[in-house]
Structure 1
Amino acid sequence: MNARFPYEDPTLPVDQRVDDLLPRMSLEDKAGLLFQQFVMIGDLDAPGMFGSASIRELLAQGLTHFNILFAPSARQIAQWHNMLQDEARTHPLGIPVTIASDPRHHFTDNPATAMMAGPFTQFPEPLGLAALRDEGLVERFARLVRSEYRAVGIRAALHPQIDLATEPRWARQSTTFGEDAGLTARLGVAYIKGLQGDEVGPESVSVMAKHFPGGGPQKDGEDPHFSYGREQVYPGGYFDLHLEPFKAAIAAGVAQLMPYYGMPIGLAGVEEVGFGFNKDMITGLLREELGFDGIVCTDWGILSNTCWGVEHLTYEQRMLKALDAGVDQFGGEHRADVLVSLVRTGQVSQDRIDVSVRRLLREKFRLGLFDDRHVDAERADTIVGTTAARAEGIATQAAAHTLLTNAASGPARLPLRAGLKVYAEGLSAESFSGRATPVDALSEADVAVLRLQAPWEQRGDGKSFESFFHAGSLAFPAAEIERITQICRTVPTVIDIYLDRPAILTELAGSAAAVLANFGACEEAVVRTLFGEEEPRGMLPFDLPSSMTAVEASRPDAPFDTADPLFPFGHGLRYDDRSPQPIAAAAATESSPLPAH
């Protein structure tokens, strides 16, 4: 394409192109850049989500950043992306669209923490990557994510989540790297390098790490998506510890950061309002003290819904407060017309808007979107979810398993031997094909295998967004404990438990012959691990508390703070380990030697 204006010339420096484009933009063009809305893949004229206009209408209003939800085939995503870019090009300045996504490359069934994988390759959740303690693996994984995202046109990642999982009850732990600040910082940097490369460029996916300044220390473990979880508390005085992964991310060149919904309580000199409205945090700490000059995008819907500490303000007043705090973009919002009105009435200056517009334009130029905005839709299906990538994903799901206990001998000693008669719950009969004989009755079984999930207390009606947040007690109900222990008394039993957050396993670990933990694993990965076709190499990324009493007495901001954990951070046995199987041991952190297994 011949360049009409200097900003269209790919040979010019990025800053020169931004300087040329900025004065050509109308106020409406500029305002639209400061909003990023959810959209559905499909008809550009279909009604928008959450009361917004259609995509075509949003483009006409100047919006050029969109966050996609459910994904069809790779080819369909790529074709839709190209159609969207063609529509954007018809507008006078032809500003390209930036497509973003929440995490998609993990085995999960919980859309509150990550999007459904759809056509993308599935690895374990980030807790599983943390269990493997391998920076090289994390960087390779992120490069795979980059390749698959770029194939369909996704150029911004709303991840990694580098919060510290210091509150065992918090519902958002599955997409963190666990409880330890040092491990989280190291793996977070590897993740950023894998997605962005050494610096953001045309081959990159721009990273929006979250949730600054650390979303883990939630009061009672409740999540600030909801009013009852709006408070972040620091009774242990560990605010600075939660900053460590973000300092490492900034040093690594992370392009974007997202503040969390929560409001800090009891921090000296800090206003008690949500982080997206908090000038002390965004301008004072992030911009001035830490020197971050990248994009700050709010978490989704803070003007409309999760406006903690400023509920009494109008929509316009909330927007003013967030802009004054120093944010550049509003996630999950689309009311660019409100911002235009605030500028025209003199409540926001053009200069203030231009500061954020420069950052947002610069990122589009750095990503090369102005120069090569289309993707090869015909090739997308051959790049995304290849046979080799899926095989590596399943192998990693298996390897991330963490062996908590193992029988000294007998049929339930892991790995299971072939040919056993197995009573199974949570695994299909087909998954044992060629390995064991499934039976329907405990009386017929040599061994029982129970696939469990960390317990939670149901919130909402079971169908609402709230219901996807696994919150509340970590203890199994008494009736379920009795049911499982009765199985263990009847036949040697192996438990494989999915830990999207810690679970109280005190009674079960004492009854079962062997206990495995996984962090997002399909049936095939679980069964391969059970039969020794893959070796479990994981080490716990957080402590497993011994009781809810210990959890309730711990400080939400303090790592490794539950008394006498049943299994500590770093615990993980190997199948050839014949040493005694301790049920409790001292915690190990990244600053002390990990157990040798």
Structure 2
Amino acid sequence: MPQLLLKTRILTVALTVLALPHPAAMAKLRPQPKPQPVLGVRSVQVLTVNKLKFKDLNKNGTLDKYEDWRLSSAERSRDLLAKMSLEQKVGFMLISTTRMKNDQSFQAGQAKEPITSDFNEEDLVASQNMFTRKPLPTPIMNAAGTTKAVTQYHLRHFILRANVSARLTAEWANKLQALCESDGLGIPAIIASNPRNHITGAAAIGTSVGKTVFSAWPGELGLSAMRDLKLVREFADVARQEWSAVGLRKGYMYMADLATEPRWQRIEGTFGEDAQWAGQMMTEIVYGFQGKTLGSGSVAVTTKHFPGGGSGQGGQDPHFEWGKKEVFPGGKFANNLIPFKAAIKAGTSAIMPYYSFPADTKYEPIAYAYNRAIIHDLLRTELGFTGIINSDTGPIEMMPWGAENLSIQERYKRTLEAGVNLYSGTADPANLLATVKSGMVDPKLIDDSVLRLLMEKFNLGLFENPYVDEAAAERLVGNAQFQARADLAHRKSIVLLRNEAEILPLKPKTKVYFEALGNKPVGTATPATSYTINDGKYPVTFVATPDEADVIVLWLKPSAKPLFASDGSPIYLALSKNSVDVAYINSLTAKKTTIVAINYSNPWVIDEIYPKDGSTRIKGVLATFGTTPDALLDIVTGKFSPTGKMPFTTPISEAAVQQQKEDVPGYEEGTGYSLFKYNEGLMYKGGNKRISNK
């Protein structure tokens, strides 16, 4: 070989060797083996393969792909799907209420024994709509006996409504997971819930559980009013820890709907009227509950109600036939999508369409769960959502707006083809199974849905360990450290709106009559929520009667007709029509200088006590959004300086409410609409300047 050629080859080899990554760097480039996870086992055997441990979920003595935690969730899901019968697949596509023993949540008026962590083995078959109390054409099974649901119906998705201790919840969840492990392929359950961490006056099945043993934070509007995204993320992370500790791994929350229609009875569950801000809130909520990706400590978020349910005609709600139309007189349909886009970008695990249908858009006027152009074309294709589409409760049997003339099987066919993956509302898979067996739908739609649902469970780590430490759950849930952060949030959520002559904060030694008014009959005694004894927490003196006071502080808590007691009549926001004794309040304000705090679950109209001409002795106005008396008094007495900002605009009059457009945020309604503006809020330092960016 010529010497020059030999030298050239030697040089080429040397340069190639020099160009190779260091062995340590090469090791980093290779996929790293997953560490051995902790396995939670109750009845199945544990297999040992190459010194690693795996659960033999299908009890065949062999390591199947779906049991192998070293594989991807997608590979495991495909393997398990191939092993499932049609009956198992169909049962897997239902999510229904499940009840602990003695839980009578749906049977008001019945004698109640204490709820225990055992199973409720009774079927709950309803002949009337669980929400509207109207007769149903055909009875439906709202809940199945637990063992029957798991072993006969193959259900693995459940909604827990019971409000009990952390230990009882954890004990029950472990029993449910043990039952699932012992059955068939050993597929674990996923347990969902509505919100459990907020102070609300409108707790109801399907909206919020209300006061619980979990850390108690402001309502959703209050979280928004804080204008503190870091603390919002912290809230979601705290709630995630509490939920996962007791076995709750899926949240039917939060609402990305916009509060553009002030009469809507679900505004309390929104983050307000501004789409961009609601999108930022949803981002922090999703990241706080799920993390950047779903993992073994995550709680999967179900964002609702696509494509936004806040512009119902006349403020009515589509749980009822008279509220089925969603209207867009301001042409703001696209504005509704902004918070959902943010949730999708953050990775929300599921999205729930609402019952309503678009009445004046390019889209077909049929309920969103049936609306392929909305679900498949818009949500899946245009917005790129790849997660689970979870129907709201009962679009097949109870609220099939626009599809009333279709048979039950035709409704299932239509919603499957639109893109629904998980059905809420019934525990009985018979009708869905009959639809599939009839050949009316492409079986690929079933497989696609089951794959998405399996992926969520694998990503959450439920196949390895669905069990929780019951004693640890009791210690963690609602602990003092968590509640201290929630208490800070309460104070940051309160908004100072008016402060004439800088009456607030109240000066030391001021004699204060403080009264919280809900539904207060005229002439009744001072409510228990009044402060008459100062235990040293505040620099003021509390007195027992208004006549003794220098300043009266009133905390009004208006309450509209409950959502599920709606009757289709016009909805009003005036205080007198929402459980507030206006005459009593005016009698007090006529006597003494008054500070009024109003709990805004809706944008109430307060001109009956706060007239436009200023002829009132109300010199300070504050807004609360589900908080505590101590938090309010900390603001009033100056222990905490207010920083909150309004999450929506409040109308100046009832006439303004009747003339506004359902889909238009209050800050765009024009001159003369607002009393308090979106993002308005005063601070003690810096004078009495009103602050607003809208």
TM-score after normalising by structure 2:
0.80
Any residues of structure 2 matched to 1:465-480 within 5 Å, and which?
A: 465-466=564-565, 472-477=571-576, 480=581
8 Å Cα contact 2:221/2:269 also seen in 1: yes
1:423 matches 2:516: no
Deviation at 1:225, TM superposition (A): 1.4
* Structure 1 residues not aligned, in runs of 5+: 590-597
Q: Which among 178, 199, 202 is matched to residue 107 of structure 1?
A: 199
Contact 1:506 1:566 in 2 (8 A): no
Q: How does 1:304-323 map to 2 (within 5 A)?
A: 304-323=397-416
How far 1:508 sits from its partner (Å)?
A: 3.1
Aligned to 1:221: 315
Which is further off, 528-537 or 210-219? 528-537
Q: What is the correspondence of 1:63-462 to structure 2 with a 5 Å cutoff?
A: 63-112=155-204, 113-268=207-362, 270-409=363-502, 413-426=503-516, 427-429=529-531, 432-434=534-536, 435=538, 436-454=540-558, 456=560, 458=561
Name 1:525's counterpart in structure 2.
631
Letter in 2 for 1:452: L
Query: Corresponding residue for 2:145?
Result: 54
Alpha-carbon spacing, 1:523–1:546, altered in 2? closer, same or farther (3 Å):
same
The structure that has the greater radius of gyration is 2
CA distance in 1, matches of 2:534, 2:622: 17
SS of residue in 1 equivalent to 2:208: coil
Matched residue SS, 1:477: helix
Whether the 8 Å contact between 1:170 and 1:471 is mirrored in structure 2 is no
Q: Is structure 2 residue 662 aligned with structure 1 residue 556?
A: yes
For 2:67 and 2:559, locate their aligned partners in 1 and report how far apart those are by CA, in whole Å.
55
Query: How far did residue 470 of structure 1 move?
Result: 12
What CA deviation, in whole Å up to 9, does each residue of 1:175-196 have, x standing for no partner? Answer: 2110001101111111111111
1:6 corresponds to which residue?
Answer: 65
SS in 2 for 1:30: helix
Q: Is the 8 A contact 2:252 2:302 kept in 1?
A: yes
1:20 corresponds to: 79
Alpha-carbon separation, structure 1, partners of 2:662 and 2:263:
9
> Aligned AA for 2:514?
A
Alpha-carbon distance in structure 2 between the residues aligned to 1:469 and 1:359: 38
In terms of mean alpha carbon deviation, does 414-423 or 520-529 score higher? 414-423
Instruction: Write out per-residue CA displacement over residues 77-119 of structure 1, whole angstroms, 9 at most, x where no aligned residue.
Output: 0110000000001111010000111111111131243112311
Q: 248-257 vs 439-448, which deviates more?
A: 439-448
Distance change (3 Å), C-alpha of 1:126 and 1:353: same
Structure 2: tracts of 5 or more residues without a match: 1-45, 48-55, 57-61, 102-117, 127-140, 517-528
User: What displacement does 1:507 show?
Assistant: 4.6
Task: Give, as a single letter, the amino acid of the residue that structure 2 aligns with 1:414.
Answer: L
Q: Name the SS for the 1:374 alignment partner.
A: coil
- Over 3 Å counting, the alpha-carbon distance change for 1:240 and 1:131 in structure 2 is same
Write the deviation string for residues 240-286 of structure 1: whole angstroms up to 9, x where unpaired.
01001111211221111000111110112x11111111111001111
Q: Is the CA contact (8 Å cut-off) linking 1:164 and 1:215 kept in structure 2?
A: yes
Deviations 1:25-45 (A, max 9, x none): 111110011110012233324
Contact 1:171 1:471 in 2 (8 A): no
Q: Could you give the per-residue CA deviations for residues 405-439 of structure 1, whole angstroms, max 9, x where no partner exists? A: 11315xxx222234333223223336744334443
- Highest relative contact order (Cα 8 Å, sep 6+), 1 or 2? 1
2:573–2:605 Cα contact (<8 Å) kept: yes
- Say whether 1:569 aligns with 2:569: no
Other structure's SS at 2:590 match: helix
TM-score (norm 1): 0.92
**Structure 1's 562 and 486: CA in aligned 2 closer, same or farther, altered over 3 A?**
farther
Percentage identity across paired residues of the two chains? 37
CA deviations 1:373-410 (Å, max 9, x no partner) are 1011111011110011112212211221000111315x
Distance 2:511 2:234 in 1: 39
Contact 2:644/2:681, CA 8 A, preserved across alignment: yes
In the TM superposition, what is the alpha-carbon distance from 1:314 to its structure 2 partner? 2.6
Matches of 1:78 and 1:469 in 2, distance apart? Answer: 41
Tell me, what secondary structure is at the counterpart of 1:408?
helix
Task: Give the conservation status (yes or no) of the 8 Å contact 2:121–2:148.
Answer: no
In structure 1, what residue type is equivalent to 2:319?
Answer: H
Asked if the contact 1:133/1:183 (under 8 Å) is kept, the reply is no
- CA shift for structure 1 position 335: 2.5
1:13 CA drift (Å): 1.2
**Aligned residues of 1:41 and 1:71 also touching (Cα < 8 A):** no
Q: Distance in 2 between matches of 1:470 and 1:140?
A: 41
Runs of 4+ more than 4 Å apart = 467-471
- Residue-by-residue CA offset, 1:33-66 (whole Å, 9 max, x unaligned): 1110012233324324454321111112111001
Distance 1:105 1:430, change over 3 A: farther
Asked whether the 8 Å contact 2:167–2:246 carries over to 1, the reply is yes
For 2:90, the aligned partner's letter is A
Conserved in 1, the CA contact under 8 Å of 2:190 and 2:457? yes
- 1:165 offset after TM fit, Å? 0.6
Tell me by how many angstroms 1:330 deviates.
Answer: 0.7
The 1-side partners of 2:93 and 2:199 are apart by 33
- SS of corresponding position for 2:347: coil
> Which residue type is aligned with residue 433 of structure 2?
V
Deviation for aligned residue 1:502? 0.4
Instruction: Provide the C-alpha distance between the structure 2 equivalents of 1:279 and 1:230, rounded to a whole number of angstroms.
Output: 18
